[in-house]
Amino acid sequence: MKALILIDLQNDFMPGGALAVPGGDAVVAVANRLARRFEHVIATQDWHPADHLSFASQHPGKSPGDVVDLDGLPQTLWPDHCVQETAGAELRRGLDVGRIDTVIRKGGDRLLDSYSAFFDNAHRRATGLHEHLRGAAIDEVYLTGLATDYCVKFSALDAVGLGLRVRVIREGCRGIGLESGARAWAEMAAAGVDVISQDAL
């Protein structure tokens, strides 16, 4: 069985948001079109406490883009974003939430970031997404969302590692940087992810 996973289509990742992905709002219309083709549609939300240690504001003298050690892992620091119960963390207005049957929240542990929809960055805790997929007998996932070079990429790589068939829809993703986005597409393809056009559906 198949499922569509919408990665982090939240206000803070859209133009005007705290951590805007260039062109991120264009993904919403693609997601809405795709959602009509799937029986199972899952959305993820970055869901950080206000004092999350991936925020540059929690490290005096540091700025967004700096890299620090966070609980034994290198961590890029970000502007405060997707703070729990704030407007920035809400799913983007215009997204057809009526098609979404499950929402998976990630990034709630202040000590660890969670780019992947499946695990935190240290793979210490699962989000519950894989268990949900197994319970619904879903073994093939289609990914779209933000950002290509972070949460989409790491979600796709973890899904392959869990034995799922993974397809990422190119038009339904946007990256933070052109160079890092290109590397992400190459890395996903090398790991066995099928990168497809929405027309292939």
Q: Please tell me which residue in 151, 153, 158, 173 is annotated as part of the active site.
A: 151
Catalytic (active site) residue 8: yes
Q: Quick one: how far is CA 161 from the chain centroid?
A: 16
* Residue showing tokens 């693609």: 30
* Residue showing tokens 């133009």: 15
Rounded CA-CA distance 69/76 in Å is 9
Cα pseudo-dihedral 99, 151, 68, 110, rounded to 10: 30
Q: Please tell me which residue in 8, 80, 113, 120 is annotated as part of the active site.
A: 8
Q: Please tell me which residue in 25, 80, 106, 109 is annotated as part of the active site.
A: 106
Catalytic (active site) residue 106: yes
Active site residues: 8, 106, 151
